[in-house]
Structure 1
Amino acid sequence: MADDLGFDDVSFRGSNNFLTPNIDALAYSGVILNNLYTPAMCTPSRSALLTGKYPISTGMQHYVIVNDQPWGLPLNETTMAEIFQQNGYYTSLLGKWHLGMSQRNFTPTKRGFDTHLGYLGAYIDYYDQTYLQSSQNYSRGHDFRDNLEASHDKVGHYVTDILSDAAVELIEKHNVTAKPLFLLLSHLAPHAANDNDPLQAPMEELSQFEYIQNKSHRYYAAMVSRLDKSVGRVIEALANREMLRNSIVLFLSDNGGPSVGEHANTASNYPLRGQKHTPWEGGIRSSAAIWSTEFERLGSVWKQRIYIGDLLPTLCSAAGISLDPSMHLDGLNLWSALKYGYESVEREIVHSIDAVDPQPHLAYMRGKWKIINGTTNSGQYDGWLGQRITDEVDPRSVHYDQLIRNTTVWQQLQLLADKPQQERNITELRQQAQILCPTPANAKPCMPLIAPCFFDIEVDPCEQNNLYDEYRNTSIFLDLWERIDQYARNAHLPNNKPADPKCDPRYYRNEWTWWQDEKSSSGAG
């Protein structure tokens, strides 16, 4: 899982600005998920992944958990990790958590993960693993743990490499005959770090992108490139242990990229509208791909709409795990549809219903129809923010096809394919994975702070033509509106709690920790 990766920042979508050959090789070898939807921010997205429920069903719908806030994913919710653990899997989280840290009980090894190496909060510096909450006068605290112990062993090392090394080591040492493995490699990349130095990358990675003039974007390209290398290393490790044949490998981002504004990293969600923390497609559509020898249509683009909350029941089904109906999941089991490649499941998705002032908003979809009412940040990020930079092209793109075929990912996955993948037309798959947005004639604008907006996403994936005036009194729109109202009436109240200054790392040896369980060393408690 990438963090804040733009929809157009994997080159299998067609951009040649900078290339992601390993991710692309995984995508072309497997199934490109052209319509994978996530919530628009980190905490809601991760809660939906691990519970199989909409954030409105668990109280995780409003914004994110800020490091100084004493709340988390409710303890009565069962996580995907707990389910796999209870069914005999060894479960490991490497990297970001962001589902609560004020109490030990909120943290990964108390929520179904046998092991965790990584950080508990929103983000950290890529080298010193500290987090500075600039909105408050807290000290800059270290946030990196090996299970429940603060770990300083890797300070000075690049965190993408730390997590990749840990994944490779885990795979190399894992006893496959004793237990199957559930691994969630939850990268920091390419999320911005602290405000004083947000974009960071190793010099040897940066040197590949000297053709990019904008310094921030050059760093971003290098951050994504290092992430891409991580994908290659994990696939290679699985192949070396002969674990690939019986593995399911999924790549995705937790939400759209922030092109501008808070924690901006120069990500591009081209050609989609909006960005992270908005209800538009650019905030909630993830570039994703999945691979398994179980799939009958390897080397295809799957257009079925799928929600991140569907992954829990879908992956459990793939693993032969039966789920208790009393869990009341919002996610659907789409394993058969994915396995056989059919695209006929009409999926409703509650993207967001957030009634909290000052920016109440909702986004809901059923089939091809999408409703947006209200928006975030007073609408300042509601436009089309990404663009294809054509004058700065990765030199490797001249031999793109051969670059993909030369990756270890392509070669290892080819060995397990039923038919030789050399026959596969990479250019054709790349074209199929692109989202095309012709400008509609007589397009009607959308002003969600004034009235609802209604889109046909199949025809208009870039949300250019608002159909609300045309459909507002039809049964199509009114039925959807009634369904939204039903969800809103039954929504779990947000779990958010105000900041607690007792969290300040200065009280706990300059560590971000579960402060509600800790005895402060100097007067916080």
Structure 2
Amino acid sequence: MGLSSWMTAVLVMVTMATVDLVHGAPNIIILMGDDVGFADYEINDPAMRTPANTALAQKGLTLNQSYTLQTCTPTRTALLTGRYSYKLGMQLGKIKGTYLRYVPVEPKLLPASLKDLNYTTHAVGKWHLGFCDWKLTPRYRGFDTFYGFFSGAQGYFNHSGTPSFDFRDNGRVAWENKGLYSTELHTTRVQEIIRGRKREPFFIYMAYQNAHSPWEAKQSYIDDYCSHVQGEKRRIHCAMVAAMDESIKNITDTLDEEGIADDTILLVLSDNGGPLGYGSYNWPLRGGKSSFWEGGLRSHTVFVHPKWVVNPGTTWDSLIHVTDWYPTLYKAAGGNPSDLQEMDGIDQYWKLIKGKQGTRDRVVLNIDDKRGRSAVRIGDMKLLTGKPCHNSLTSGAPAPPDMEAAGTANSFVVRIQDVPEKQLFNVRQDPRERNNLIDDPQYAEILRELEDFRDYEIENNLVPFPANIPKAKEGKPEFYSGAWSPGWCCAG
């Protein structure tokens, strides 16, 4: 390399290393869908209408090997703590109603770490990490503001779940929102935060209600985007996803109007795969929500960092786990990930924006000691132990080509009773998880490595899921003017 080329390379490295000094820390927005399947975007099913997601993919990266967990709370726990959920006893959900259950108070959540870097922090939408004590709620866990609901599901219009009212504007019950569509309410609040920003960079965690049950969509979304879709379940699901996509467009338009789009990182993902039998697709992946199949754990993910992603419009094919976003975004914000405590997540910031091979080579997808199942991956090989799917639901909507072969519609191979106790798949070559390699001698060495990896985590790091989760009658909404409210437990 000549002197001139060497000096140019050094200058580029110094420039990249001092990005925060030159441009200031970027704003960060996480846009997390709820129960949005791998094939619920037009990129994987042309019948869907998600142009905003497609436009973001053209500006950034599509992450093809992006893993979450199988249901809502475990994924949200991993995202905001950077820890494997099973290390916190949160490998399964069960945060609902008066259950005395919550994410432990000890881990410092991502927003609190970003506040250390002078960010303002905002949570909008679904919480679902516990609320029996005020100290468990968003504004006590690092968020400056909260606009949304504490529970796991509620009506999109009446904002009631199991069955009482649940909508907060910071600490106040927002009764005035009754009858208004939640997606539009949440979107408006995000736009207000963007327009009302101060000099500090902001972090917005937008946890959409879409497309979780109940299956409610405004008729306008059905008429405008999804009238052509066959099957009522798929049509309604399409409309709920379209509402989310329109929200994404409105948010990105607001960033453009404010002149800060180039200074804002956007991360779009789902909390888990789509639930089978309710209009959601995960094709070509096998299985769906609640399962340890790829269709339950893989998320269609888009990462946008304007001016810094080297190859926009491309697919990043390296392994990334939801825990990685904590240190990765912390790095993007100007922090040093080595300062973070007890991270299972791996900083992949520079690998992402430069389009290089990722750092992660293995991941514990989850350990479910209650049902005796686990899933781990090293390289391209995935080991499933126990029954990956504890339900036997099949899709009730028309299937794209080869959906049945993928084990996600009208196929007995997805059912609990028809799978062996141990299964080994090359999930890069076989994302449908059809060719079980467990007895193939050429994979004996990687099988032992996967089993050792799993066994070590079970023996050394697993916090058992509680056999029984107590309830507290003091938490009933009737004691709080008919709204779900904190104040009926003392979190540790």
* Bin of the TM-score, shorter chain as denominator length: 0.7 to 0.9
> Structure 2: how far apart are the matches of 1:229 and 1:77?
34
Match of 1:86 among 116, 136, 146: 116
Tell me the equivalent position of 1:375.
387
> Structure 1: how far apart are the matches of 2:272 and 2:477?
29
Mapped pair 1:202 → 2:172: no
> Structure 2: how far apart are the matches of 1:256 and 1:187?
15
RMSD: 2.4
Q: Helix, strand or coil for the counterpart of 2:114?
A: helix
Tell me the equivalent position of 1:480.
450
Tell me the equivalent position of 2:79.
49
Tell me the equivalent position of 1:497.
469
Tell me the equivalent position of 2:186.
163
Mapped pair 1:287 → 2:300: yes
Match of 1:360 among 368, 372, 381: 372
Task: Return closer, same or farther for 1:59/1:501 CA change in 2, 3 Å cut-off.
Answer: same
Mapped pair 1:223 → 2:270: no
Match of 1:299 among 306, 313, 318: 313
Tell me the equivalent position of 2:260.
243
Superposed CA deviations along residues 377-420 of structure 1, whole A, max 9, x for unmatched, are 64525x89986447xxxxxxxxxxxxxxxxxxxxxxxxxxxxxx
Matched residues, number: 446
Residues 256 and 282 in structure 1, CA contact (< 8 A), matched pair in contact too:
yes
Mapped pair 1:58 → 2:78: no
> Structure 2: how far apart are the matches of 1:81 and 1:448?
43
TM-score where L is the length of structure 2: 0.86
Deviation at 1:464, TM superposition (A): 0.6
Deviation at 1:471, TM superposition (A): 4.2
> Structure 1: how far apart are the matches of 2:59 and 2:343?
31
The 5-angstrom pairing of residues 386-425 of structure 1 reads 388-389=399-400
> Which amino acid is the alignment partner of residue 440 of structure 2?
E
Mapped pair 1:276 → 2:299: no
> Structure 2: how far apart are the matches of 1:130 and 1:49?
26
Tell me the equivalent position of 2:174.
151
Mapped pair 1:310 → 2:324: yes
Deviation at 1:97, TM superposition (A): 0.4
> Structure 1: how far apart are the matches of 2:430 and 2:443?
21
Match of 2:203 among 163, 176, 182: 182
Deviates more, 1:234-243 or 1:56-65: 56-65
Deviation at 1:476, TM superposition (A): 1.5
> Structure 2: how far apart are the matches of 1:492 and 1:447?
28
Q: Helix, strand or coil for the counterpart of 1:229?
A: helix
TM-score where L is the length of structure 1: 0.81
> Which amino acid is the alignment partner of residue 3 of structure 1?
D
> Structure 2: how far apart are the matches of 1:301 and 1:42?
26
Task: Return closer, same or farther for 1:74/1:291 CA change in 2, 3 Å cut-off.
Answer: same
Deviates more, 1:122-131 or 1:493-502: 493-502
> Structure 2: how far apart are the matches of 1:52 and 1:118?
23
Task: Return closer, same or farther for 1:377/1:505 CA change in 2, 3 Å cut-off.
Answer: farther
Superposed CA deviations along residues 262-315 of structure 1, whole A, max 9, x for unmatched, are xxx311001110100000000000011011121111110110110010001111
Mapped pair 1:118 → 2:141: no
Deviation at 1:7, TM superposition (A): 0.5
Tell me the equivalent position of 1:397.
none
Deviation at 1:475, TM superposition (A): 2.0
> Structure 2: how far apart are the matches of 1:142 and 1:219?
24
Deviation at 1:149, TM superposition (A): 1.3
> Structure 2: how far apart are the matches of 1:483 and 1:111?
32
> Structure 2: how far apart are the matches of 1:59 and 1:122?
18
Superposed CA deviations along residues 176-229 of structure 1, whole A, max 9, x for unmatched, are x2x100001111001112xxxxx1111211212222342222221111111100
Residues 387 and 421 in structure 2, CA contact (< 8 A), matched pair in contact too:
no
Residues 352 and 358 in structure 2, CA contact (< 8 A), matched pair in contact too:
no
Deviation at 1:470, TM superposition (A): 1.1
Mapped pair 1:255 → 2:298: no
Deviation at 1:494, TM superposition (A): 2.8
Q: Helix, strand or coil for the counterpart of 1:112?
A: coil
Superposed CA deviations along residues 449-493 of structure 1, whole A, max 9, x for unmatched, are 642100011211110100001149822111210110000012123
Task: Return closer, same or farther for 1:386/1:251 CA change in 2, 3 Å cut-off.
Answer: farther
Deviation at 1:62, TM superposition (A): 2.3
> Structure 2: how far apart are the matches of 1:474 and 1:389?
36
- Identity across matched positions, percent: 29
Task: Return closer, same or farther for 1:142/1:207 CA change in 2, 3 Å cut-off.
Answer: same
Q: Helix, strand or coil for the counterpart of 2:270?
A: coil
> Structure 2: how far apart are the matches of 1:344 and 1:239?
30
- Segments of structure 1 that go 5 or more residues without pairing to the other structure are 133-139, 194-198, 391-435, 439-443, 519-525
Match of 2:484 among 512, 517, 522: 512
Task: Return closer, same or farther for 1:477/1:517 CA change in 2, 3 Å cut-off.
Answer: closer
Deviation at 1:99, TM superposition (A): 0.3
Tell me the equivalent position of 2:29.
none
Task: Return closer, same or farther for 1:46/1:313 CA change in 2, 3 Å cut-off.
Answer: same
> Which amino acid is the alignment partner of residue 192 of structure 2?
E
Match of 2:212 among 185, 191, 195: 191
Task: Return closer, same or farther for 1:281/1:86 CA change in 2, 3 Å cut-off.
Answer: same
